A = this chain, B = another copy of it.
């Protein structure tokens, strides 16, 4: 039996649950190899089963490592599970309230993160895919020749995606951010139909064989922009240097945040320092104030400090870090683009 399923069965036993129900597409994919395109209920128990929608049956039967049945109704599913003696059901924290309500009268329910916990630690194969995604994304970025680019934010964003696909990505890992001039003070700016202003902040990533990459670079010009850039770079570098197994995630956030606070910009660093990635662009754990997860070998987490000066500009620098005995930056794109 698959090691992931075995681990979940152990977790279930320990917590006195009889089954774990997964509906998040990437969790179902991680466990079964079948990637839903419509709803699916994957129930991990001694004899695991997936209830797939009729429109997914062809790919579910083709790809799934575990038994697949065609979903008929909540009633049928619940009846089958009850018949097997299942009374305590673990669910994902993300399960919609309306779905939870369907099950709460028939089962003792609580949410568990059994799959997320396993997904935290990437195998060498998974790290290989993240690395390849990063290489594709970084190569594509360089093809933009950004310092000599006269396109609009929109055009640059589109060209970047085009390069990534031509270089082997299946798609972008999130909506590409190309934010220039004052827009760069918005962490999640949407590219506009305007010629590139300065500074230029680009936050982008590729998906390769299902796995995401994530990077940010900011190209600065004025003295003030350089000053802010240097602070963000110091924060970025010190945080990465501090990473090692055994520390807590929040300790890395503190390292990054302290640098920025010491220069007086603490209230301008308006998000956490980083997030894990893999099949999803945002996974757990993250380098954030309140995340006391202990860092372990095999985790892959971004470091992306930023300073955002409303009405002026913003600077963010982001790399993705593979954790071994220390934190290793994935890819080799310099922070300073020239």
**Residue A111 contacts which of B94, B98, B190 (CB distance < 8 angstroms)?**
B98
5 A-B residue pairings within 8 Å (CB atoms): A94-B98, A97-B100, A98-B111, A100-B100, A154-B165
Stretch of A50-58, A121-129, A221-229, A231-239 that contacts chain B: A50-58
Q: List A143-188 residues whose CB lies under 8 Å from chain B.
A: 154, 158, 162, 165, 170-171, 175, 185-188
Would you call A185 and B58 a contact (CB within 8 A)? yes
With A97-B94, A270-B57 in contact, do A162 and B162 touch (Cβ < 8 Å)?
A: yes
Would you call A96 and B98 a contact (CB within 8 A)? no
> With an 8 A cutoff between CB atoms, is A142 at the interface?
no
**Residue A54 contacts which of B154, B158, B271 (CB distance < 8 angstroms)?**
B271
Would you call B94 and A55 a contact (CB within 8 A)? no
Give the distance to chain B from A250, nearest Cβ to Cβ, in Å. 15
Q: List A111-143 residues whose CB lies under 8 Å from chain B.
A: 111
In the bound assembly, the distance between CA atoms of A322 and B38 in angstroms comes to: 25
Would you call A37 and B95 a contact (CB within 8 A)? no
> With an 8 A cutoff between CB atoms, is A259 at the interface?
no
Give the distance to chain B from A20, nearest Cβ to Cβ, in Å. 13
> With an 8 A cutoff between CB atoms, is A310 at the interface?
yes
**Residue A58 contacts which of B95, B165, B186 (CB distance < 8 angstroms)?**
B186
Give the distance to chain B from A184, nearest Cβ to Cβ, in Å. 11
> With an 8 A cutoff between CB atoms, is A93 at the interface?
yes
> With an 8 A cutoff between CB atoms, is A294 at the interface?
no
